[in-house]
Structure 1
Amino acid sequence: MTRLRLVVIVGTTGVGKSQLAVALAEKYNGEVINGDTLQIYDGLPIATNKLPIAERKSIPHHLLGCIRLEEETWAVGKYVRSATAVIEDVIARGKLPIVVGGTHYYTQSLLFEDSLIQNGPTEGLTAEAQEKRWPILGASPKEMLERLRLVDPEIAARWHPNDMRKIRHSLEVYFTSGKKPSDVYREQQRARSKYLPGHDIVSENTGRGIKDAGQSASPLRFNPLILWIHADLDKLSSRLDERVDQMVDAGLIDEVQSMFGHLQAQKRSGKSVDQSRGVWTAIGFKELLPYVSACAGAEITVRKLEESKKQAIELTKTSTRQYAKRQQRWIRGKLLRALQENDALENLMILDGTELSQRLQNVQEIAGDAVHAFLKGDPLPKSTLLPTLIKDILVPKAKGHIKARYCDMCKITMMTQQEWDAHLRSKKHRKASRIPVDWQALYPRADHEDNLPNHDDR
């Protein structure tokens, strides 16, 4: 059966994905499906960068702000089922579904049938039910990691000690499947290997049309056109900093204060809120929370408040830049690899969104041409990036073997051999590893009185 067609827009934060989705939906009778894990929840519209209603131009947006704060957070499996149902409904009504969002783990799980462990771990159980059944899931990351080391030291060595989501997920896999997570992931890799076509990842994929869905058996759920708005991270950084300043001007701090008030109300009523999940993990909220909490305190000077505010805003900017790096790493290291393994790089169109203020209209025009060709089954237009840059993007960078290493002297964890080697050469480590000199032992001071000059003996 011919797979359903849809358009997927990916890229880092701040490159204009939402605006492009609306422009394409206007032109091609489309509807937008949210693919951002935080925008699913109600609350924090500024922090989560929900597109304002006025800018949606009456285009229907699905799975956006649909989960209330008091409701259970969604697992990725629930998102995939919900998004799939929406896509099928949009197509049944003769419209074009356009998936857009920055949570590429969700997007990739939606596109590929084997991205998730079947039925998902702990599917259908609330967080309270999970922790009641397996109390360790409510423990600290350190305690969970110690338990994971006992059941699967191989997978435990791959996770950073502070990466609570991955550590907990691995334990969920173990509890629900009865298998080591490392064995489960190997089974998934073996299942995917049957789709490997030996396709050259640097072939000239940017000028060819979408392969007919029936030509190969692949785990793709749909026949997608993937539009990647690529941006140079060094040039994007200043734009992201400016956007954080704009968010503050738009009322980000008031938004965080409102959510802080909700937390306080829940606490007074005896209800606990898991701030490690859902909208509470949004960049901007957790960074500004200490400042907002300090504002509620009685004993703090205006000067200290201003310093706290400045630090919180700078931390928000840093976290935003780091998030953009993680997003681009996911696209290059996981999404592109999955497309390669399924001989589906022809479904990818790369757009240059580095200078967004100058290229927004150009990006929308070229993306529109790509969608037009995609719907007609014609060859896609060529990418707006230079061929050499495309090759550099598509060729995965060498990645060292992932294994957590902890430096006792510096109290820091490294995840790859390259990071570990670089740390050993760093000034911080060399300074920490120096043997302290006991200057008092080398140059002992005599008793004070013995050192006084005897003027009578002169």
Structure 2
Amino acid sequence: MMKQRIYIIAGPTASGKTAAAIGVAKRMNAEIVSADSIQIYRGLDIGSAKPSVQEQCGVPHHLIDCVDIEDRNFNVAMFRERASEKIREIASRGKNALVVGGTGLYINALTYPLNFSSAEPNIERREELSKMEDADPGCLHKMLSDIDPATAQRLHVNDRKRIIRAIEIFEQTGQTASAHGGDFSNARGEEIEFEPIIAALCFSDRAKLYERIERRVDLMIENGLIDEVKAVAEKGYDRSLPALQGLGYKQLLMYLDGECSFDEAIELIKRDTRRFAKRQISWFKRDKRIHSFFADKETADGLVQSLYEYFMNPELFQGDAPETEQEGEQT
């Protein structure tokens, strides 16, 4: 029995995934399933670059605005369950599913046979670990290195949420997070439900991507991001909520709480977004199934056409790797 194909557009933040995906979706009779870990939250619109109804151009979008900000329990296993259900539903209507986003773990959840741990979230322990990290930055990553070096090597030292989750899994089960579901090479040869065809947008000159990031942050501020964050702050949400760790929200909440100036908050957003994009690029480079397209070397229409041709005939692109990008110096 043939597996259902799913088409995926991945890539770093600000690379133009949304616009390209809408163009491709129209060409191939597809609906879009978001793979973005912040766009899932209701009320976090501007800072997550969530496409408005107008920007969606009539293309149905799924898994945006589906989780409340105060929800601490939404995780990658839940994403896979909801996304898989939507993909099957889309197929039942005779349409293609186009998965779009930059959250690498979400994409891996659909394209690798990951076995998610049954360890239940322990809010009190998470808060305790978070306070330890506040008092001694980097201590949690060191703790994780001692118990699960494979996962520690994969996670950035500042990725507090996932570091805490990995420690939590070990403490509750006695097994490492990597043992529960880190077989990204699929050495065991396990089956997955879908057949993924994966494209990623990249830039021949990373400095151009960093310029796009800075322009987008400025545009978000012009479009009312500070008012959006103020509205969130006025509701009194706990600042440690996963939703509020998103880029733009965390830094502007720091400003509203008097921890930095407005200008400092903006520079932090730009710096942290550049660093996040760099980690996203590294994540997707590891996956040899992905075919990359240089977004800065094609027109918008040309990029849509190239992606469409790849999705329709991926076998024609095998071995046709793009040139190596030039890394920008700014971090």
Q: Deviations over 1:240-294 (max 9, x none)?
A: 111111111111111111111112xx5xxxxxx2x34432011111112233334
Q: Distance in 1 between matches of 2:279 and 2:48?
A: 16
> Quick one: structure 1 residues 291 and 190, their matched pair in 2 at CA, closer, same or farther if it must change by over 3 Å?
closer
Aligned to 1:228: 200
Q: Distance in 2 between matches of 1:330 and 1:322?
A: 12
> Quick one: structure 1 residues 330 and 243, their matched pair in 2 at CA, closer, same or farther if it must change by over 3 Å?
same
Q: Give the letter aligned to residue 192 of structure 1.
A: N
Aligned to 1:106: 106
Aligned to 1:214: none
> Offset at 1:160?
6.3
Higher RCO structure, 1 or 2 (CA under 8 Å, sep 6+): 2
SS of alignment partner, residue 58 of structure 1: coil
Aligned to 1:212: none
Aligned to 1:314: 267
> Quick one: structure 1 residues 23 and 7, their matched pair in 2 at CA, closer, same or farther if it must change by over 3 Å?
same
Q: Distance in 2 between matches of 1:379 and 1:160?
A: 36
- Give the 5 Å matches for 1:379-418: 379-380=316-317, 386=322, 389=323, 392=324
Q: Say whether the 8 Å CA contact 1:5–1:222 is kept in structure 2.
A: yes
Q: Say whether the 8 Å CA contact 1:33–1:63 is kept in structure 2.
A: yes
Q: Say whether the 8 Å CA contact 1:287–1:313 is kept in structure 2.
A: yes
Aligned to 1:435: none
Aligned to 2:307: 367
Specify which of 200, 212, 229 is matched with residue 256 of structure 1.
229
Q: Distance in 2 between matches of 1:102 and 1:190?
A: 17
Aligned to 2:90: 90
Q: Distance in 2 between matches of 1:146 and 1:56?
A: 39
> Offset at 1:350?
2.1
> Offset at 1:121?
3.9
> Quick one: structure 1 residues 153 and 48, their matched pair in 2 at CA, closer, same or farther if it must change by over 3 Å?
closer
Q: Distance in 2 between matches of 1:252 and 1:109?
A: 30
Aligned to 2:328: none
**1:33 maps to 2:27:** no
Q: Distance in 2 between matches of 1:17 and 1:149?
A: 33
150-159 vs 24-33, greater mean Cα deviation: 150-159
Structure number, greater radius of gyration: 1
**1:131 maps to 2:131:** no
> Offset at 1:188?
5.4
Give unmatched runs, 5+ long, in structure 1.
196-217, 267-272, 296-306, 337-344, 394-458
> Quick one: structure 1 residues 13 and 163, their matched pair in 2 at CA, closer, same or farther if it must change by over 3 Å?
closer
- Give the 5 Å matches for 1:188-337: 189=183, 192-195=186-189, 219-231=191-203, 232-263=205-236, 273=238, 275-294=239-258, 308-333=261-286, 335-336=287-288
Q: Distance in 1 between matches of 2:269 and 2:182?
A: 37
Q: Say whether the 8 Å CA contact 2:141–2:152 is kept in structure 1.
A: no
Q: Say whether the 8 Å CA contact 1:370–1:381 is kept in structure 2.
A: no
> Offset at 1:192?
3.1
SS of alignment partner, residue 37 of structure 2: coil
> Quick one: structure 1 residues 35 and 191, their matched pair in 2 at CA, closer, same or farther if it must change by over 3 Å?
closer
Q: Say whether the 8 Å CA contact 1:47–1:283 is kept in structure 2.
A: yes
- Give the 5 Å matches for 1:433-452: none
Aligned to 1:175: 171
> Quick one: structure 1 residues 119 and 382, their matched pair in 2 at CA, closer, same or farther if it must change by over 3 Å?
closer
> Quick one: structure 1 residues 326 and 363, their matched pair in 2 at CA, closer, same or farther if it must change by over 3 Å?
same
Q: Deviations over 1:278-325 (max 9, x none)?
A: 320111111122333349xxxxxxxxxxx9222211211111111110
> Quick one: structure 1 residues 257 and 93, their matched pair in 2 at CA, closer, same or farther if it must change by over 3 Å?
same
Q: Distance in 2 between matches of 1:36 and 1:160?
A: 18
Give unmatched runs, 5+ long, in structure 2.
326-331
* TM value normalised by structure 2: 0.84
Q: Deviations over 1:87-140 (max 9, x none)?
A: 1111111110000011011111211113xxx34242xx4x4xx23588855653
What RMSD in Å do the two structures reach over aligned CA positions?
3.2
Alignment coverage as a number of residue pairs: 320
SS of alignment partner, residue 66 of structure 1: coil
* TM value normalised by structure 1: 0.62
**1:51 maps to 2:51:** yes
Aligned to 2:329: none
Q: Deviations over 1:317-367 (max 9, x none)?
A: 11111111011010013x33xxxxxxxx3xx43211125xx6211101111
**1:140 maps to 2:132:** yes
105-114 vs 132-141, greater mean Cα deviation: 132-141
